[in-house]
Chains A and B, each alone.
Chain A
Amino acid sequence: MAEVVVWVDHAGGVVAKPSLELLTVARRLGDPVAVVAGEGAAGAAGVLGEHGAVRVLVSEAPEYGEFLVVPKVDALAAAVGAVGVPVAVLVSSGGEGREIAARLAVRTGSGIVTDAVDVEVGADGGPVAVQSVFAASFTTRSRVTRGVPVIVVKPNAAPVEAAPAAGAVENLDVVFSPAAVCARVVERAGREASGRPELTEAAVVVSGGRGVGGAENFAVVEALADALGAAVGASRAAVDAGWYPHSHQVGQTGKSVSPQLYIASGISGAIQHRAGMQTSKTIVAINKDPEAPIFDLVDYGVIGDLHTVLPQLTDDINHRKN
């Protein structure tokens, strides 16, 4: 069976959820070959096998952590070479994932499609990428016409499914290119773990906007998020006002999310925000302004003050859970 190369994003061997989703997508197209590079990479092999990886190509070298992006491109290119002609290369969306995929596409003379919300099997057995464009007003299906299709897939595009496979671990030989050791990471500070899921990966996102009214008031948004096991998002207005960190910004210049449930509180729904959340499956909004454009998108909306609606909602959820 044809092989599909899957780039695995991990932290010290702990595989990111979107990479496991990629294995679900990959199995539709062929036999998944997982590529995992960096410190602790070998530790990821077990879980990758449990989720369908037939082969796991592992490369551990300090270069992956010491330099920006390109060593990982070298590793992925080596993996593609080791496979021969894969039916596709799949990479998860995210700043680094997109860049790795892009450089690989140039090197292999291949076309690239980014931000796929789903991948289907085309008539020729090759991948057809489904995208949601123009603030989700159009759904497109695209095909790569040259080279090995390189497809960057958004989180939540497919469920994580157990599918035990051989997971045969192989050492991947990588020779770093001169370009790989140019852009050096001179200092790294890990982000503070909030204990909440990653914004882009979360199945539920609760966001606050201008209507929250201040940094300290984000506590009501966080309390609801915790009751739902959700990630916290913020509109650009809230971020620009300094009420919440930029890393949580949802929208065109922030992060694009497509969770199962998106709760917008105190967010009017400017086009730039909508572009970042409109592919959410279910949308709920709470806003004082009945004219807020966000209400055009919602499955359920409450015209009201988030400072009373959110705590009541949070209490009721906690009450139902107990």
Chain B
Amino acid sequence: MTLRIVVCVKYVPDAAGERRFAGDGTVDREGVDGLLSELDEYAVEQALRIAEGSDGEVDVTVLTVGPEDAREAVSKGLRMGADRGVHVEDGGVHGSDVMGTSLVLAAAVEKAGFDLVLCGMASTDGAMGVLPAVLAERLGVPQVTLLSEVSVGGGAVSGRRDGDRASERVEAPLPAVVSVTDQSGEARYPSFKGIMAAKKKPVVEWDLDDLGLDADGVGLAGAFTEVVEAVERPARTKGEIVTDEGDGGLKVAAFLAGRKFI
């Protein structure tokens, strides 16, 4: 039996660029460079390591939901070494919040077929960190999330979850949804061979009809939240900056005392 891994990835605006809101309260992506969310690279990496470490057949699909540009996120995953890609693109998806996006992802994951869904711990743009849990709830499978180590064997997934209070070893039977942290292992760079091979790998494109979804349930129309106001914060007024002339520490202390911190 082939182990089917679906890695959910997101195409995000580059955090180093300037980000703004569009008139409809959604993120303005015009003129902003995008890339595969760095945290999702760790999920792709773990999928590839599971495949490489397995005795059996493993099939790694990279899945993304987003506009035309988002295909680049799938392509990056293929260059890293994934076997196939799925790109869900539909105008109706624009403006989806996490509830809408997760509905589309859940339908696409089911259509693709899966034993394991791998996600990054959060996107680097919205950074909500809730999608893996939402996806598990929608799919009705166990969630094994925020793992810094992950392994698959004997029909189960196990790993280490480092929380604020404790470090836990956790395990669950497959199928399951897993998310991995940036501590799970450095993501590889695509090799020349990987880049060449990626060009021949299949990428299927689905829209909402293909997934049997109604446009009313997703996008702005189906959003469960509404941004009522987005105000650009005035740039922080630059405070006083001094050069240490042997009394730098005393000056900071005087500043802190003035603000009642000491």
Q: Which residues of A contact B (CB under 8 A)?
A: 11, 68-70, 73, 94-96, 98-99, 101-103, 105-107, 110-115, 128, 132-147, 179, 182-191, 198, 200, 204, 228, 246-247, 252-253, 260-261, 271-272, 275, 282-284, 286, 290, 295-305, 308-317, 320-321
Q: From B134, B164, B238, B240, give the contact of A94 (CB < 8 A).
A: B164
A300-B255 in contact (CB<8A): yes
A312-B250 in contact (CB<8A): yes
**Separation of A296 and B236 alpha carbons in the complex (Å):** 8
**Separation of A314 and B102 alpha carbons in the complex (Å):** 49
B225-A186 in contact (CB<8A): no
Task: Give the top 5 A-B pairs by smallest Cβ distance, nearest first.
Answer: A304-B244, A312-B249, A111-B224, A102-B130, A182-B142
**Separation of A132 and B144 alpha carbons in the complex (Å):** 29
CB distance from B220 to the nearest CB of A (A): 11
**Separation of A189 and B226 alpha carbons in the complex (Å):** 41
CB distance from A108 to the nearest CB of B (A): 11
**Separation of A297 and B99 alpha carbons in the complex (Å):** 35
With a cutoff of 8 Å between Cβ atoms, the chain A residues found around residue B176 in the complex are: 182-183
Q: Is B168 an interface residue (CB 8 A)?
A: yes
Residue with the greatest number of chain A CB neighbours at <10 A, chosen from B97, B140, B182, B231: B182
A146-B243 in contact (CB<8A): no
- In the complex formed, the residue of B with least CB distance to A285 is B241
B233-A142 in contact (CB<8A): no
- In the complex formed, the residue of B with least CB distance to A123 is B228
CB distance from B26 to the nearest CB of A (A): 12
A317-B167 in contact (CB<8A): no
Cβ < 8 Å to A, chain B residues 158-180: 158, 161-173, 176
With a cutoff of 8 Å between Cβ atoms, the chain B residues found around residue A304 in the complex are: 243-244, 248
Interface string of B242-262 (1 = CB under 8 A from A): 111001111111011101011
A282-B259 in contact (CB<8A): yes
B133-A316 in contact (CB<8A): no
Using known A-B contacts A142-B226, A296-B236, A302-B248, determine if residue A114 contacts B167 with beta carbons closer than 8 Å.
no
Q: Is B216 an interface residue (CB 8 A)?
A: no
CB distance from A18 to the nearest CB of B (A): 11
**Separation of A182 and B137 alpha carbons in the complex (Å):** 12
A107-B137 in contact (CB<8A): yes
Q: Is B239 an interface residue (CB 8 A)?
A: yes
Stretch from B15-23, B50-58, B65-73, B194-202 at the A interface: B15-23
Secondary structure call for the B interface: mixed
**Separation of A99 and B137 alpha carbons in the complex (Å):** 10
With a cutoff of 8 Å between Cβ atoms, the chain A residues found around residue B15 in the complex are: 135, 252, 271-272, 275
With a cutoff of 8 Å between Cβ atoms, the chain A residues found around residue B30 in the complex are: none
CB distance from A141 to the nearest CB of B (A): 4
With a cutoff of 8 Å between Cβ atoms, the chain A residues found around residue B166 in the complex are: 188-191
Q: From A70, A112, A246, A300, give the contact of B225 (CB < 8 A).
A: A112
With a cutoff of 8 Å between Cβ atoms, the chain A residues found around residue B141 in the complex are: 179, 182
A313-B252 in contact (CB<8A): yes
CB distance from B136 to the nearest CB of A (A): 8
Q: From B19, B238, B249, B250, give the contact of A310 (CB < 8 A).
A: B249
A186-B169 in contact (CB<8A): yes
Q: Is B36 an interface residue (CB 8 A)?
A: no
- In the complex formed, the residue of B with least CB distance to A199 is B164
12 inter-chain pairs at a CB distance below 8 angstroms, sorted by A residue, are A68-B144, A68-B161, A95-B163, A134-B20, A141-B229, A183-B144, A186-B170, A198-B164, A247-B162, A300-B255, A312-B247, A320-B262
**Separation of A73 and B136 alpha carbons in the complex (Å):** 13
CB distance from A101 to the nearest CB of B (A): 7
B143-A143 in contact (CB<8A): no
With a cutoff of 8 Å between Cβ atoms, the chain B residues found around residue A70 in the complex are: 142-143
Using known A-B contacts A101-B130, A252-B124, A282-B259, determine if residue A308 contacts B137 with beta carbons closer than 8 Å.
no
B129-A189 in contact (CB<8A): no
A301-B240 in contact (CB<8A): yes
A184-B138 in contact (CB<8A): no
With a cutoff of 8 Å between Cβ atoms, the chain A residues found around residue B253 in the complex are: 313, 316-317, 320
Q: From A128, A141, A302, give the contact of B242 (CB < 8 A).
A: A302
Q: Is B1 an interface residue (CB 8 A)?
A: no
